[in-house]
Amino acid sequence: MPNQLHGKKYRTAEKNRDVIAVYPPKQALEIVKKSAFAKFDETVEIAIRLGVDPKHADQVVRGTVVLPAGTGKTVRVLVIATGDKAKEAEAAGADFVGADDMVAKIKDGWLDFDVLIATPDQMGKLGQLGRVLGPRGLMPNPKAGTVTMDVTRAVRETKAGKIEFRVDKAGNVQAPIGKVSFPLESLETNFTAFMDQIIRSKPSSSKGVYVRNVSVSSTMGPGVKIDTNPYR
């Protein structure tokens, strides 16, 4: 009986994969590309179920990774810094650079940026914006590399395809790894880089199977399961 929860195009796309089977990464990504049906360039996403309990602080998996082939998205970077660090940010390609003026602008409701990077000495000014920046995931964080004196590196990596990931309350990690329009090899390279970082981020307190499930999908398309044996 047809799945009435999805439209005809989705049900057609589902036929490109066996819902029970698990595939090698390259084949799974190939199916995702083949199954994409939207009129826009869909994002390719990875979803991972980890064998951790995020209720315990020592099992929270989070980090950053620079996707070698980029994300396919133009990232607007705001840097809060002064003096030489502000000049470095401008030279590195930051879209917006400032300090008190930018803080005031955000207070007034301006949020036309994707990533906020700040030098440590400016974080005091951003504390008052926690209720605005926090829920949107825009508050700079040392663990994400967005609170740093090395603004040149931070800006360049962000522009090149650096993304942040964090396990949710259910033990899942989701992240974009490119666009459907990417060559298969580029998607595979990004997938490998992301999985390598997930493995490196395994908490020492995690017991049993760490990587339980992995799947990839496009924004509108069905998920395709990946064989997790190489990551156990």
- Which CATH number belongs to the domain containing residue 120 in this structure? 3.40.50.790
pLDDT at 13 over 70: no
Q: Are 50 and 211 in contact (CB under 8 A)?
A: yes
148-200 per-position pLDDT tens digit: 999 999 999 999 999 999 999 999 999 999 999 999 999 999 999 999 999 99
Range of the domain at 175: 17-71+162-231
Same domain, 123 and 67: no
E runs forming strands in 15-119: 43-50, 62-66, 77-80, 96-98, 115-118
Whole-number mean pLDDT of the chain?
A: 93
Same domain, 91 and 56: no
Q: What is the largest CA-CA distance in the chain?
A: 66
Same domain, 56 and 90: no
Dist. CA 113–CA 147, nearest whole Å: 16
Is 10 part of any domain?
no
Distance of CA 58 to the CA centre of its chain: 21
Task: Provide the pLDDT for residue 1.
Answer: 41
Is 98 part of any domain?
yes
**5 falls in which pLDDT band (50, 70, 90)?**
low
pLDDT at 3 over 60: no
**129 falls in which pLDDT band (50, 70, 90)?**
very high
DSSP code, position 6? S
Looking at the structure of the chain, the number of domains it has is 2
The whole model's pTM is what? 0.84
List the structure tokens of 219. Answer: 């924004």
* Phi and psi, residue 120, nearest 5°: -55, -35
User: What SS3 state is found at 174?
Assistant: strand
E runs forming strands in 114-223: 115-118, 162-166, 172-179, 211-218
